[in-house]
């Protein structure tokens, strides 16, 4: 289906939330439990996503009491491709592209061997041209006034 993983989706939501709450570069930090509360995503999952984003340098984690996370760059400076790479790994549509030889037993007679590169490049370019600001931008419809006050329990029970 050419889908990207849910983790990537969560990552975008979490980073958008960080930006929204002022946890930008050199700004205030926000804790993983707090983000989980605000986004409605389970807390261990939020922690996992933040760890991955931290390893990629997209967020900065401050340890210890009063610690938390904040963005290292404004959303407009973060291409979507970077988030995908951070969470899902390298962007390559087929296994035989970057892995070199081995694994593809039809290597000898494969007619399209090594020809997926332009495809991968096209995808990467398309994804690099979109920043998180484009995704998190102005509220799509009926911006919720205070989503930080919304109780996830209520959402679960509502529908």
Partner DNA sequence: GTAAATAGGACCAATCGGGTCCCCTTTGAA
Partner DNA sequence: TTCAAAGGGGACCCGATTGGTCCTATTTAC
Angle between helices 43-55 and 6-20 (to 10 degrees): 80
Q: Give yes or no for residue 120 binding DNA (CB under 7 A).
A: no
Q: How far is CA 73 from the centre of its chain?
A: 14
133 binds, among a copy of itself, DNA, none (CB under 5 to 8 A by kind): none
What are the tokens at 74?
């404004």
Q: Which is nearer to a copy of itself, 30 or 39 (CB)?
A: 39
Q: Which does 107 bind (CB under 5 to 8 A by kind): DNA, a copy of itself, none?
A: a copy of itself
Contact 110, 133 (CB under 8 A): no
Among 2, 26, 64, 145, contact with a copy of itself (rule: CB under 8 A): 2
- Note the Cα 116 to chain centre separation in Å: 25
Report, in Å, the least distance between residue 125 CB and DNA: 22
Strand-pair category, 68-71 with 59-62: antiparallel
Sole residue written with tokens 């370019």 = 125
If binding is defined by CB under 8 A, does position 125 make contact with a copy of itself? yes
Whichever of 28 and 128 has its CB closer to a copy of itself, that residue is 128
Pick what 63 binds: DNA, a copy of itself, none; C-beta below 5 to 8 Å, kind-dependent. Answer: DNA
The answer to whether 57 contacts DNA (rule: CB under 7 A) is no
Burial annotation 114-138 (CB, 10 A radius, 16+ → b, else e): eebeeebeebbeebeeebbeebbee
Helix, strand counts (H, E) of the chain? 7, 2
6 binds DNA (CB under 7 A): yes
Residue 108 interacts, among a copy of itself, DNA, none and using kind-specific CB cut-offs from 5 to 8 Å, with a copy of itself
Query: Residue numbers of the site for DNA (CB under 7 A)?
Result: 1, 3, 5-7, 10, 31-33, 42, 44-45, 47-48, 50-51, 54-55, 61-69, 88
């Amino acid at each position: 289906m050419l889908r990207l993983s849910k983790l990537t989706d969560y990552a975008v939501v979490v980073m958008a939330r960080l930006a929204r709450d002022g946890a930008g570069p050199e700004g205030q930090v926000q804790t993983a439990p707090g983000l989980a509360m605000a986004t409605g995503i389970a807390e261990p999952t939020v922690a996992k996503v933040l760890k991955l984003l931290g390893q990629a340098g997209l967020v900065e984690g401050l340890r210890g009491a009063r610690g938390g996370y904040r963005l290292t760059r404004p959303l407009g400076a973060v291409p979507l491709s970077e988030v995908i790479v951070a969470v899902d790994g390298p962007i390559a549509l087929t296994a035989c592209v970057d892995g070199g030889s081995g694994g593809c037993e039809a290597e000898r007679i494969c007619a399209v061997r090594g020809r997926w590169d332009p495809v991968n490049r096209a995808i990467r370019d398309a994804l690099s041209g979109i920043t998180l600001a484009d995704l998190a931008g102005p509220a799509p419809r009926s911006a919720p006034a205070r989503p930080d006050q919304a109780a996830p329990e209520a959402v679960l029970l509502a529908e």
